[in-house]
Structure 1
């Protein structure tokens, strides 16, 4: 008999406690894709060494900022840098801000994380936001460095790594229902 009383008490207590805390029980059972974390490094060398940045990021960058989706592959990155990009790892686009399917496919194939992705399954604009990230910066892309869309402006290097549409679609749905 004591087990039945304990189970009954627990069955009544848990929902009541959730009600008091303002938790929505359905939120507890749903995946939350709209999560991100901010990271930084003093130099690009430090960021690469710590695994924060991909290997194509050139040495000599300072004040590195990164916003990364913790539930997917999307990243935004900026750093102070006015030098050249590594030609062996970065490919110029034929048209600024509008990589072709062929250019994307070739670039994604060189990146361990995006190798095997179908171009049609990948987002072409960010869902992440950061106060240091210019709106529509991805439309200024001049080079692809693996899966990263990259451009330079005003002594800064900006880079965006996209996520799969299956993730960005879930993020957009969550934001609509919030």
Structure 2
């Protein structure tokens, strides 16, 4: 009887260890998995939109993917990754004709961006992170926004903007 218990415990520990080791790799490529798996196992989800106009609006039932007002409506190739059990978010888009207008640092608190993004994705450049870009805190959450050519990268680690 002790041998069976030991085997079951060893199997459970082995499964846990494999899951612990593989989860970071899966999180980088979570756009290939069903939403239920992403939501409940990885706690992250990705959606893409051809333009910002195609992204959900407040009240559409897709609140996690509502874009901040400072994202131009004609922005194209929009990708959003959200934390389903928190408030962290990555946003990537390409600028079109409307220029990016950021409100600035008002409402930001010191230390909100002492680290890079807590989320990661295979489409997120490694050199966008610590200290890059401008703070944008005109809405509920604080964002850091970096522009590289026509491509814009923004992230929030879920820190609330101060009003």
TM-score norm. by structure 2 comes to 0.57
Cα offset, 1:140, TM superposition: 2.3
- The question of whether the paired residues in 2 share the 8 Å contact of 1:122 and 1:163 is answered with no
Distance 1:73 1:67 in 2: 11
Cα offset, 1:107, TM superposition: 2.9
Structure 1 residues 126 and 34: alpha-carbon distance in aligned structure 2, compared to 1, 3 A threshold: farther
- The question of whether the paired residues in 2 share the 8 Å contact of 1:33 and 1:71 is answered with no
Q: More helix per residue: 1 or 2?
A: 1
Matched, 1:163 2:158: yes
Distance 2:124 2:91 in 1: 8
Q: Which of the two has higher C-alpha Rg?
A: 1
Matched, 1:150 2:145: yes
Cα offset, 1:154, TM superposition: 1.8
- The question of whether the paired residues in 2 share the 8 Å contact of 1:77 and 1:159 is answered with yes
User: What CA RMSD, in Å, does the superposition of the two structures yield over aligned residues?
Assistant: 3.6
Matched, 1:44 2:44: no
TM-score norm. by structure 1 comes to 0.53
5+ long unaligned stretches in structure 1: 1-15, 92-102, 109-117, 165-178
- SS, match of residue 54 in structure 2: helix
- The question of whether the paired residues in 1 share the 8 Å contact of 2:92 and 2:152 is answered with yes
Counterpart position of 1:81: 95
Distance 2:146 2:70 in 1: 14
Matched, 1:132 2:147: no
Cα offset, 1:85, TM superposition: 2.1
5+ long unaligned stretches in structure 2: 1-7, 20-39
Distance 1:159 1:73 in 2: 14
- SS, match of residue 91 in structure 2: strand
Counterpart position of 1:12: none
- The question of whether the paired residues in 2 share the 8 Å contact of 1:107 and 1:145 is answered with yes
- The question of whether the paired residues in 1 share the 8 Å contact of 2:113 and 2:144 is answered with no
Aligned length: 123
- The question of whether the paired residues in 1 share the 8 Å contact of 2:90 and 2:119 is answered with yes
